[in-house]
Amino acid sequence: MRRRHVRIGLLALTAMAGSVLMASAPAGADPTHSTASAGSKRSHLEDREAVSLVRIKLTGADMLDKVVAAGFDLEHGVKRVPTGIEAEAVLTAEQRAELQSMGVKILGSDEAFAWNEQADGGIRTAGKQAVQPLSHEQTVRVVRADWFTTKGQGFLYVEARTTEGQQADPVVQMQLENDSGTGTSFGFARTMSRFVDSGQYMFHRNLFKLDERPSQIRVTSSTGGVTTGKVSDWLENAPPPLTDDPGYKSNFIDGYKTPQQLYGRAEEIARQYPDIAQIIYLPNQTNGYQRKAQATIGGTGQSAVVVSSAAWGHEGGNDITVEFVDRPGADLPLSVEVTGKAIRVLLAKDASGALASTAAEVAAALETRSAGLIDRAHPYRTNAGTGIVAPSAPVALTDFLDQKRAGAPEGEVPRGPATIPVLRIGKHRDGTKPGVLIQAQDHAREWVPATTSLEAAERLVHNYKTDRETKRIVEDTDVFFILSNNPDGANYSFYNFASQRKNLTNHCPDESADPGRRDSWGVDLNRNYRVASGQDGYSGGSSVCTSGTYQGPEKLSEPEAKNIVWLVEKYRNIKFMMSVHSNGGQLFWQPGAYIADGRITTPRPPLGDEAFYWQSAGRILSQVKAYRETVVTPENVGGSSDVLYSSAGNVREDLYYTYGIYAFGWEVGGSVYNPATGNWQGGSFQPPWEGDPNLVSGHSETMEYANGIMEMFRVAADWGRDKKDPKSTLVPGGGKHRGPVDVHFETNEPATIYYTTDGSRPTLKSPRYEATDFREPGQVFHVTETTRFNWFSVDAAGNIERNYDPAKNDKRNNYRTATIKIDKK
Ligand SMILES: [Zn+2]
């Protein structure tokens, strides 16, 4: 691969930000919605607005930003395709119309983008001159060229950049060719797809089927730039999974689990295996699976009154009735009578005997004169409540939580605030071993992350005594499982509204507080953190309380988010974190958010961290693949704002930038390649538990992604055992050169290099050796004058090369050094 050239003395670092996503078939629709039954005693206004999951097509990032800013719920199905962006949205009919009026296209079930796998003959304008490049030779770089196989089919994925990529008129085209193995010629020309995100050129890329593994690729730009690159393997030749070991126990989960089931099993594990497991109860209780009892009464529009009980529904609110009474007579004042839990609003009459109480007046009377039964009453939505209220027979208020959706699990859901248990597993739980936090189900409707995490916990405790590798994990790590971090929302998803994403806390002002909006309340727990938050101008969090990505009224407003901060501050040995979501088939890290204007991301991790993330991802995803050949493809791995979208205030940014925790995000599930059809089949939040082992199913996803979690534990154990210092070299090394020379650094393991070129002692404040550009290898120095490099490297575990101490000015000065002598004669 080409590296970026940087002229020493003129370190001109061009900033280029980036993003890429993969295309997949549409996810299955989520058939979960049922409307509440409106009894004769209730107005139609209590019916929740029917929603459905639809697949949509946006023209590009600008439209995506607008749609997200308008508060639409576009989560986990966002795919960048060459002609724009495809996404999934949970929409009411009204929202669907609003989106269409913004220019968004609603896709049919078979309209999703699929990569063109045919060679197309290439770019006409490039023609023959492409193979004889002139001044534009160095304008093109290969970012990555990855070969992978799944279920008997080979694929090649390529990313390439041109320095002219931002140019809009004309847009620079890129052509990709590949050989058919070592020594064969290039052919099969294809036009690459150009990707632009938030106004910034990212790179060009392609994914296509191939039967033979190529050895090299060649990329040519329409302006005459050309380069070649070596093809690397992606997740090929993975070591066998733990599950292959004879006697290894796995496959513990028999179906989706409610929070009660998850927590009950966690507590049972702690009782059964007290020598290696315990429960830590998180200090902040959730808001609870509970709601105020409500009704919308008195008419529609300006005449409607929205009433909410002071007590939670299950604590008496559901027993309240409200009646609007028309008395005979004229010149009667508005008054309120309360008998037990029965409230009678005696409507006013004017001089002619006509009803005369407005919705605003009735609401005010209910708030102040209902003997404390009603603590919130207001006009409907944005109405001022100027309409005259109509009489109504007694209406029973309800929290709607006793209305179970079809297919809900058996059993009662505990009401009231929940205490979230953390299942901690490790032989040495004293802070001396690297801690790994597995946090599942921030998003309520994501059921597979919870079963995946529980399966991993079961494997640890069941195999500890009998399997050598498991014993090493339990003895050398300290694992913290939060099997569901959103129990209230998860219960709502299981029992009431399957598409629930957020928690159940209602922060909405009056205009959105009527029960018709109840499925849209709540805070997106993965937007409620402090770093790169929506409040600080980052993209992907909403201030609209009904938005799918509502960030909350302030940073860390929610107990579920406060608990995570509490946990990592109390257990400072937590150095790894996996935030487990579904169903994108992605593994990512930082940067995870950007400011849209200029696409300014959170700081990219140093090269050593970036390399460590990639190395860990390769190990984790190889183990996922080992189960049934599911490949998480390379375009779905990297910084989450590059591979998915900007997520303001997500937990990973907070944990990495505040505490230095390696914080991964995982989208389990997602597309699987179906050899029978030759297509990728998309995932869903709640796929059938059992199913064709080759296709999407909750059971298969649980098993394969639990393999990946187990490998993450091994990554952490290896990290904890790593006491060896890294080794780095300057290539080529010191010595005499006739004329300018290109040099770069290499390391024997993921490590970050700090260097000087002015003869001074390198410290942690010295320039850091950077990537050529994001997703690319380290930069290249073009040395034109005699230059002395002084440097040292630091590995992912913090070991410093030659045990050099950059902080102390000790006499040894055993940093690395090399002098490039340029002989100009
Ligand atoms: Zn999620």
Ligand 1 center to 412 CA (angstroms): 26
Query: Contact, 470 vs 464, CB < 8 A?
Result: yes
Ligand 1 center to 802 CA (angstroms): 43
246: Cβ contacts below 8 Å, ≥ 6 apart: none
Ligand 1 center to 641 CA (angstroms): 14
In angstroms, rounded to a whole number, what is the distance separating the alpha carbons of residues 131 and 766?
41
Q: Quick check: helix, strand or coil at residue 172?
A: coil
State residue 824's pLDDT score.
Answer: 75
Query: Contact, 92 vs 50, CB < 8 A?
Result: yes
User: Residue 87's pLDDT band (boundaries 50, 70, 90)?
Assistant: confident
Give ∠ CA 788-794-795 in degrees, rounded to 5. 140
Ligand 1 center to 377 CA (angstroms): 34
- What's the rounded mean pLDDT across residues 84-99? 80
Token pair for 269? 């594990």
φ and ψ at residue 808, rounded to 5 degrees? -100, 140
- What's the rounded mean pLDDT across residues 164-174? 91
End-to-end CA distance of the chain: 31
* Statement: residue 425 has pLDDT above 70: yes
Ligand 1 center to 72 CA (angstroms): 15
In angstroms, rounded to a whole number, what is the distance separating the alpha carbons of residues 185 and 36?
65
Ligand 1 center to 579 CA (angstroms): 9
Ligand 1 center to 444 CA (angstroms): 8
Residue type for position 686: Q
- In DSSP notation, 279-343 reads EEE-SS--S-B--EEEEEESSSGGG-EEEEEEEEGGGTGGG-EEEEE--SSSSB--EEEEETTEE
Query: Which range has the worst mean pLDDT, 60-74, 489-503, 800-814?
Result: 60-74
- What's the rounded mean pLDDT across residues 551-559? 98
Residue type for position 144: R
What residues pair up with 323 in beta bridges, in sequence order?
A: 344
Ligand 1 center to 549 CA (angstroms): 10
Ligand 1 center to 205 CA (angstroms): 26
Ligand 1 center to 104 CA (angstroms): 23
Ligand 1 center to 442 CA (angstroms): 6
Ligand 1 center to 325 CA (angstroms): 48
* Statement: residue 658 has pLDDT above 90: yes
631: Cβ contacts below 8 Å, ≥ 6 apart: 148, 149, 150, 155, 234, 235, 621, 625, 673
Strands 637-639 and 586-589: parallel
Q: Quick check: helix, strand or coil at residue 75?
A: coil
Going by the DSSP 8-state scheme, the letter that residue 239 receives in this structure is P
How many other C-beta atoms can be found within 10 angstroms of the C-beta atom of residue 406? 9
Ligand 1 center to 547 CA (angstroms): 14
Percent of the chain predicted with pLDDT > 90: 77
Token pair for 596? 């849209």
State residue 239's pLDDT score.
Answer: 84
How many other C-beta atoms can be found within 10 angstroms of the C-beta atom of residue 757? 20
Judge residue 119's burial from the number of C-beta atoms within 10 Å of its C-beta, 0-12 exposed, 13-18 middle, 19 or more buried: middle
Judge residue 42's burial from the number of C-beta atoms within 10 Å of its C-beta, 0-12 exposed, 13-18 middle, 19 or more buried: buried
- What's the rounded mean pLDDT across residues 719-732? 97
Ligand 1 center to 448 CA (angstroms): 11
Residue type for position 105: K
Residue type for position 602: T
Ligand 1 center to 143 CA (angstroms): 29
Give the length of the chain.
825
Ligand 1 center to 84 CA (angstroms): 22
Dihedral angle, C-alpha 371, 374, 375, 377, nearest 10 °? -130
64: Cβ contacts below 8 Å, ≥ 6 apart: 58, 74, 78, 85, 87, 645
Query: Contact, 322 vs 394, CB < 8 A?
Result: yes
Ligand 1 center to 640 CA (angstroms): 13
State residue 809's pLDDT score.
Answer: 78
Token pair for 261? 């089931």
User: Residue 33's pLDDT band (boundaries 50, 70, 90)?
Assistant: very low
* Statement: residue 25 has pLDDT above 60: no
Query: pLDDT tens digits for 106-160?
Result: 887 656 555 445 555 444 433 333 333 334 557 899 999 999 999 999 999 999 9
Token pair for 199? 């106004």
Query: pLDDT tens digits for 185-198?
Result: 999 999 999 999 98
| Whole-model pTM over 0.85 | yes
Ligand 1 center to 580 CA (angstroms): 8
How far are the Cα atoms of 252, 428, 504, 800, 802 from residue 402, in angstroms, in the given order? Answer: 31, 44, 15, 60, 66
* Statement: residue 64 has pLDDT above 80: no
In angstroms, rounded to a whole number, what is the distance separating the alpha carbons of residues 647 and 109?
27
Token pair for 312? 């939670």
Query: Which range has the worst mean pLDDT, 208-212, 280-284, 627-631, 808-812?
Result: 808-812
How many other C-beta atoms can be found within 10 angstroms of the C-beta atom of residue 50? 12
Query: pLDDT tens digits for 444-488?
Result: 999 999 999 999 999 999 999 999 999 999 999 999 999 999 999
Ligand 1 center to 489 CA (angstroms): 12
Ligand 1 center to 502 CA (angstroms): 9
Residue type for position 453: S
The enclosing H or E element of 562 equals: helix 559-570
In angstroms, rounded to a whole number, what is the distance separating the alpha carbons of residues 356 and 346?
11
Ligand 1 center to 747 CA (angstroms): 36
Return the closest-CA partner of residue 783 out of 733, 746, 727, 747. Answer: 733
Spell 606-630 as b/e; 16+ CB within 10 A means b: bbbbbbbbbebbbbbbbbbbbbbbb
- What's the rounded mean pLDDT across residues 358-362? 98
Q: Quick check: helix, strand or coil at residue 217?
A: strand
Ligand 1 center to 176 CA (angstroms): 35
Query: Contact, 415 vs 314, CB < 8 A?
Result: yes
User: Residue 44's pLDDT band (boundaries 50, 70, 90)?
Assistant: very low
Residue type for position 669: G
- In DSSP notation, 716-784 reads HHHHHH--PPP-EEEES-SEEEES-EEEEEEESSSEEEEEESBSPPP-TTSPBP-BSSTTS-B-EEEE-
Query: Contact, 578 vs 666, CB < 8 A?
Result: yes
Quickly tell me which residue has 């129990």 as its tokens. Answer: 487
In angstroms, rounded to a whole number, what is the distance separating the alpha carbons of residues 684 and 27?
5
Ligand 1 center to 360 CA (angstroms): 40
Ligand 1 center to 443 CA (angstroms): 5
Residue type for position 163: T
Ligand 1 center to 667 CA (angstroms): 7
State residue 106's pLDDT score.
Answer: 87
Going by the DSSP 8-state scheme, the letter that residue 520 receives in this structure is G
Ligand 1 center to 408 CA (angstroms): 21
Dihedral angle, C-alpha 318, 320, 326, 331, nearest 10 °? -130
Helix and strand numbers, DSSP H then E, in the chain:
12, 40
Ligand 1 center to 685 CA (angstroms): 9
Ligand 1 center to 582 CA (angstroms): 6
Return the closest-CA partner of residue 646 out of 548, 531, 541, 561. Answer: 541
Ligand 1 center to 523 CA (angstroms): 13
Query: Contact, 216 vs 181, CB < 8 A?
Result: no
- Average per-residue pLDDT in the chain? 89
Ligand 1 center to 581 CA (angstroms): 4
- What's the rounded mean pLDDT across residues 761-772? 96
State residue 332's pLDDT score.
Answer: 98
SS3 readout for 609-678: HHHHHHHHHHHHHHHHHHHHCCCCCHHHEEEHHHHCCCCCCCHHHHHHHHHCCEEEEEEECCCEEECCCC
Ligand 1 center to 446 CA (angstroms): 6
Query: Contact, 568 vs 282, CB < 8 A?
Result: no
Ligand 1 center to 560 CA (angstroms): 15
How far are the Cα atoms of 126, 457, 465, 480, 794 from residue 436, in angstroms, in the given order? Answer: 51, 12, 21, 6, 22
Ligand 1 center to 670 CA (angstroms): 12
Ligand 1 center to 198 CA (angstroms): 22
Ligand 1 center to 145 CA (angstroms): 29
